[in-house]
Structure 1
Amino acid sequence: MPARHIAPATGRLGILTPGLGAVASTFIAGVLAARKGLMPPIGSLSQMAHIRLGTRDEQRNPLIREFVPLASLDDLVFGGWDPITTTALEAARTAGVLRGEDLAPLASELEAIVPMDAVFDRRWVSRLEGVRVKPLSSKREQAQALIDDIARFKAEQACDRLVMVWCGSTEAYQEPSAVHASVAAFAQGLEDDDPNISPSQIYAWAALQSGVPFANGAPNLTLDLPCMIELAQTCGVPIAGKDFKTGQTWMKTLLAPGIKARMLGLRGWYSTNILGNRDGEVLDAPENFKSKEVSKLGVLDAILQPSVYPDLYGQIDHVVRINYYPPRGDNKEGWDNIDIFGWLGYPMQIKVDFLCRDSILAAPIVLDLALFLDLAARAGSGGVQEWLSFYLKAPQAAGRTPAEHDLFIQQTKLKNTLREWMGELPVTHSEAG
């Protein structure tokens, strides 16, 4: 099959992150460390994973980055916005994710990354107080200021291309409103200072208007809106959302397909988390937790299909809790109690205690989303990039059917997209490798 025309990844790629906290600073530090040969980019499919090519008689297994024309780590430039942080180094030290000895060889480069003043509204993140905020009350002025920031960063850093990945805090829960119905309605809402327009939506608007691909790493209502999908399609800009799939939800997308594959029943799934970073502090507010809860709760139904298997999955009690516990810092702990049943209805249980590191798991996702969105832009693939669902808790669907949540099917879709774009035949799920 013919390969898709993909423009070469020449020049510098700027990665802009609204939010320069634990996740963003850990991501940047990891890329800098990989460039210096201090540590390989573990957890990144784009850098570490192989892809199976060819027929059964002639198998090839190159690294993805050797097979696909991705931007080089050496060509990445970093920037962003933050309402609190003064430099990426300060963000990394404050977050406490990385040890001092790991930051030391990167300190000068991290200190040189100074975030721009943020568009911030405490009504959406009540537990934080922004001190480095643009002194603009008009949403139209805020959007224009971000567009100007994007253009200035690109010029000053001599970037050929840009991508943007939301690494900011979870915003308060909201439902779509009339202002989100179309591009025209949203543009008018900016003029009218519509209270239903959140900061993350202003960032997404500014990015898409600037031709910059955008990924949403939080459960905010940001890209999954008619106005943003319309704008992305009209401008031919790739988008992907939402909510990085890191700890407990990642476990669910691993375990739930296995339970379904064995046709075992599921009666209940209780999940609770403790974490003490800025994300945990923000999620301690009920209105912000609801955004995260909705994102997490949709996974099981999508994988298990209770309408198809009512006897097995028709009555699941799915409970999610998050507790802010400062001593834990970024080292999140997720407990799961899973009540399953088998032959003759006899009950069994699965217990999971995942002592993970939130930002360590999220950082390589930021890298992959940035590199793959840049690839999509160079390949002329605008709009929703459903093939990137692998990285997201509540992925957007590109068509009428719901997005896939089974991690292994998502991985196959991701690799098959790369195969097809490079002129290779897709493979089945069992052959994906």
Structure 2
Amino acid sequence: VKTGKTKRDLAEALRQDIRDFKAKHGVARCVMVWCASTEIFIVPGPAHQTLASFEAAMDANDPSIAPSMLYAYASIMEGVPFANGAPNLCCDTPALQQLAIDKGVAIGGKDFKTGQTMLKTVLAPMFKARMLGVAGWYSTNILGNRDGEVLDDPESFKTKEESKLGVLEYILQPKLYPELYGEMYHKVRINYYPPRGDNKEGWDNIDIFGWCGYPMQIKVDFLCRDSILAAPLVLDLALFFDLAARAGMSGVQ
């Protein structure tokens, strides 16, 4: 656990950790992948607009500077590519994105999307390709690991909810296809259930309609293992971001 008077102090401690890790293991290159829990929902504000405002906010212990932002800042400052595996605001800010470009560091990521959201990104394009309307989409999850415990907190859940809700709007484009998706009702719930452990269950009820508005339903019960779905993505991200570094790529990938 890091200690310091300011968030800038904590970021500097993280930078030292990176340097110590490289020296201890004798490596020239590293990649940082954020695999920690979802943070509370943060709306982008003045502190996230420029590097100067971001660093001033760290010095002032501004609550809008989240832990994942400190890790991203430390990583970029040390020339280490950074991938975000949670739906946090994190490096999705002008300040850190410009810093990454200035430092020549590759960054990216906005949630691993390994379970229910992954299914949505597969099913929604199919509906759109066949011009099938969606009247409603109800999603619920039960999960018993640390991720589920954190998401039991309303503020942390809101961050995840925004990610899950936004993916359908992005894919289906209700403003472009109002007759098919303009009145879609989308509900998301996540429930902490300790006996389930790392075994996650995602249940979806999808009300669709086709020719002449005739209603139909799709129901999906996805019983999966959270970490088993995420682990290969972490390995791929490490490899791809290291490749990006060796290729001289920078900024959002």
- TM-score, structure 2 normalization: 0.98
Q: Give the structure 1 partner of residue 215 of structure 2.
A: 347
Q: 2:63 and 2:170 mapped to 1: Cα distance? A: 32
Return the offset for 1:245: 1.3
**What's the counterpart of residue 154 of structure 1?**
22
Measured in 1, the distance between the counterparts of 2:21 and 2:163 equals 32
- 222, 233, 248: which one aligns with 2:90: 222
Decide which of 231, 250, 253 is 1:382's aligned counterpart.
Answer: 250
Query: What is the aligned residue count?
Result: 253
1:177 deviation in Å? 1.7
Q: Deviations over 1:316-375 (max 9, x none)?
A: 101100000001111000000000001111100000000011110000010111110111
Amino acid at match of 1:155: A
Between the aligned partners of 1:138 and 1:306, the Cα distance in structure 2 is 44
1:301 paired to 2:169: yes
Q: Which residue of 1 aligns with 2:224?
A: 356
The residue that corresponds to 1:213 in the other structure is 81
Report the equivalent of 1:170.
Answer: 38
Secondary structure of the 2:32 match is: strand
3-state DSSP of counterpart to 2:199:
coil
Q: Report the AA paired with residue 37 of structure 2.
A: S
Equivalence map 1:42-57=2 (5 Å): none
Higher relative strand content: 2
In the alignment, structure 1 residue 292 sits paired with structure 2 residue 169: no
| Structure 1 residue runs without a partner (length 5+) | 1-132, 386-433
Q: Which residue of 1 aligns with 2:134?
A: 266
User: Following the alignment from structure 1 to structure 2, what is the Cα–Cα distance between the partners of residues 300 and 312?
Assistant: 13
SS at match of 2:189: strand
Letter in 1 for 2:143: L
Q: Secondary structure at the match of 1:252?
A: helix
Task: Tell me whether 1:191 sits opposite 2:56 in the alignment.
Answer: no
Q: Does 1:318 align with 2:177?
A: no
One-letter code aligned to 1:334: G
CA–CA distance in structure 2, aligned partners of residues 210 and 294 of structure 1 = 31
1:276 aligns with 2:144: yes
Rounded to whole Å, the distance in 1 between the matches of 2:103 and 2:153 is 36
SS, match of residue 250 in structure 1: helix
The 1-side partners of 2:180 and 2:233 are apart by 33
Distance 2:73 2:180 in 1: 43
Deviation (angstroms), 1:381: 1.1
Q: Distance in 2 between matches of 1:136 and 1:359?
A: 32
Equivalent residue letter for 2:46: A
Residues in 1 aligned to 2:242 and 2:86: alpha-carbon distance in whole angstroms: 20
2:125 paired residue number:
257
Q: Give, in whole Å, the separation in 1 of the partners of 2:123 and 2:64.
A: 37
Structure 1 segments of 4+ aligned residues over 4 angstroms from their partners:
none
Bigger Cα Rg? 1
Counterpart check, 1:181 vs 2:49: yes
Matching residue of 1:235: 103
CA distance in 1, matches of 2:151, 2:139: 15
SS at match of 1:366: helix
2:116 to 240, 243, 248: 248
The residue number in structure 2 matching 1:338 is: 206
For 2:22 and 2:237, the matched residues in 1 are separated by 19
Task: Give how far 1:175 is off.
Answer: 0.5
Residue 378 of structure 1: how far off its partner (Å): 0.8
Q: Distance in 1 between matches of 2:215 and 2:247?
A: 50
SS in 2 for 1:212: coil
User: How big is the shift at 1:157?
Assistant: 0.4
Corresponding letter in the other structure for 2:240: F
- The secondary structure found in structure 2 opposite 1:332 is strand
Q: Which one of 360, 369, 383 corresponds to residue 237 of structure 2?
A: 369
Q: Residue 178 of structure 1: CA displacement?
A: 1.2
The alignment partner of 1:376 has SS state of helix
Match for 2:176: what amino acid? V
TM-score scaled by length of structure 1: 0.58
1:201-231 residue CA offsets vs partner (Å, 9 max, x unmatched): 1111000000000011111110111111110
RMSD, matched Cα: 0.9
What SS does the corresponding residue of 2:112 show, helix, strand or coil?
coil
Once residues 181 and 370 of structure 1 are traced to their aligned partners in structure 2, the CA distance between those partners, rounded to angstroms, is 28
In 2, Cα distance between the equivalents of 1:280 and 1:137?
Answer: 31
Tell me which amino acid in the other structure corresponds to 2:96: M
